[in-house]
Structure 1
């Protein structure tokens, strides 16, 4: 079910990207900004973005988060995309975005993006510049984070009734 949702989300992103602003040509960076916004990247990769209904200055966007996502895979943290893009060439960025990632990163959605879309995101991130700190390192399964985290560990219906 989750993979169907991810693929549907990826298809939605591609569809929106090809129809919105069709009358106004966009630069690569503008398209990258648009794709990041409709893709919901700020929701995880920008501290406080979702909680503030997206009302944070662009200067704060995509600098990562120290709030983890804990599940059977361990705990992952949304990385600082600006710092990462500043450290990588366009080719390295492309390779990274085509590599499998740990949950909850929507790898199938990235796979559905065109190479041009991924490059547009890279160009936008480069216009923002390097800012912020690196996110905490991922933790293996069974290790409790010492940061705030979302618990993605499945629980049975019986366990939640008590």
Structure 2
């Protein structure tokens, strides 16, 4: 009886070790994707507009505030637009919906969507994973203000 149990115990131990190794590999891959997303958010300039005070404070803003949108408006011939709270936006989207949004959205200036559209699916998925990992925070950005209407708060004025 002991001889028949030994192969079974060895098989169980091997299966357990394989399961642990797969879990560690998956966790490592997820950590890599989150790090890539964080990096892309930083170098892609996402925080410059979508994080309050990021540019004026030379990027020295607590990460818990990253991508929460801003009440600073961008005014020009298109009206006044506000940087979206990306954490709230992406919390309401699946990864597939985000990819469609990133590829097809027609935003108002000054959002540089041509840069977002140029990203690979892997880059967009990394940004999605990172942004979602931050959790929801902040409030929705102020609503768009049409041309000829004065915005309530501070704005950066582009030439008309």
TM-score (norm 1): 0.77
Query: Structure 1, residues 98-136: CA drift from partner, whole Å, max 9, x if none?
Result: 122111000111111111111110000011000000000
Pair 1:54-2:59 in alignment: yes
Pair 1:39-2:51 in alignment: no
Match of 2:147 in 1: 141
Cα RMSD for the two superposed structures: 1.2
Give the Cα separation in 1 of the matches to 2:52 and 2:94: 26
Match of 1:86 in 2: 91
Q: Which runs of 5+ in 2 are unaligned?
A: 1-28
TM-score (norm 2): 0.78
Give the helix-richer structure, 1 or 2: 2
Matches within 5 A, 1:2-151: 27-98=32-103, 99-151=105-157
- Moved runs in structure 1, 4+ residues, more than 4 A? none
Q: Which runs of 5+ in 1 are unaligned?
A: 1-24, 155-162
Query: Structure 1, residues 17-40: CA drift from partner, whole Å, max 9, x if none?
Result: xxxxxxxx8621111110010011
Give the Cα separation in 1 of the matches to 2:119 and 2:107: 15
Aligned length: 130
Match of 1:157 in 2: none
Q: Secondary structure at the match of 1:78?
A: coil
Question: For the pair shown, which has the larger CA radius of gyration, 1 or 2?
Answer: 2
